[in-house]
Amino acid sequence: MAGEKILIVDDNSDAVTILTAILKKGGYAVSVARDGVEALRMATEKRPALILLDLMLPKMDGFEVCRRIRDDPALRDTIIFFLSAKGDTSSKTQAITLRVREYIIKPFTPQEILEKVQYHLSTPKPPDIFSLAFLVGLYSRLVQLGLWIRLRSLQKRPAINPFP
């Protein structure tokens, strides 16, 4: 949604300039941090709806910034996109475990950034698949589904005539 606060975390001035222009044109309020330590401070102060986080940063890398944000109860549900020139499987796997919503490989297109930002800011938060409430609900639905399938299979059987 336009007007939402977005924090850009990147030490590359060109990337910051491009991302800022794209997001401001989309109607978003943009803040910028140039290193990992500044990113944590600004995330705490500004409480952005979304963070575009480069992985290779001075003072603290993007993975550690993300870990600390996820450990902070006030920030843990913040939407995070990783921006990186690294497209290796290990980095992507680590991003998944940190509940990163998008892993965008540089170079990116303005349209790609804006569409993904708009989508994630307008879509409800996905369920936390590791929460007890989610797992109990899932189990309950699976039990109901199993009972429904069993009943349907019984209904499809031909009736047995007890008096041949």
139 and 68 both lie in a single domain: no
- What span, in angstroms and rounded, lies between the C-alpha atoms of 35 and 38? 5
- What span, in angstroms and rounded, lies between the C-alpha atoms of 142 and 127? 17
Q: What is the pLDDT of residue 143?
A: 79
Tell me the three state secondary structure of residue 53: strand
100-106 own/partner pairs: CB under 8 Å, 24+ apart: 100/66, 106/15
18 and 67 both lie in a single domain: yes
50 and 117 both lie in a single domain: yes
Question: Per-residue confidence at 129, pLDDT binned at 50, 70, 90?
Answer: low
pTM metric for this prediction: 0.75
86 and 110 both lie in a single domain: yes
- Give the residue numbers spanning the domain of 89: 5-122
25 and 69 both lie in a single domain: yes
- What span, in angstroms and rounded, lies between the C-alpha atoms of 22 and 95? 24
Q: What is the pLDDT of residues 38-86, one digit of tens each?
A: 999 999 999 999 999 999 999 999 999 999 999 999 999 999 999 998 8
Residue 164 lies in a domain: no
Q: What is the pLDDT of residues 94-123, one digit of tens each?
A: 888 888 999 999 989 999 999 999 999 998
- What span, in angstroms and rounded, lies between the C-alpha atoms of 96 and 27? 29
CATH of the domain at 111: 3.40.50.2300
34 and 95 both lie in a single domain: yes
48 and 62 both lie in a single domain: yes
92 and 48 both lie in a single domain: yes
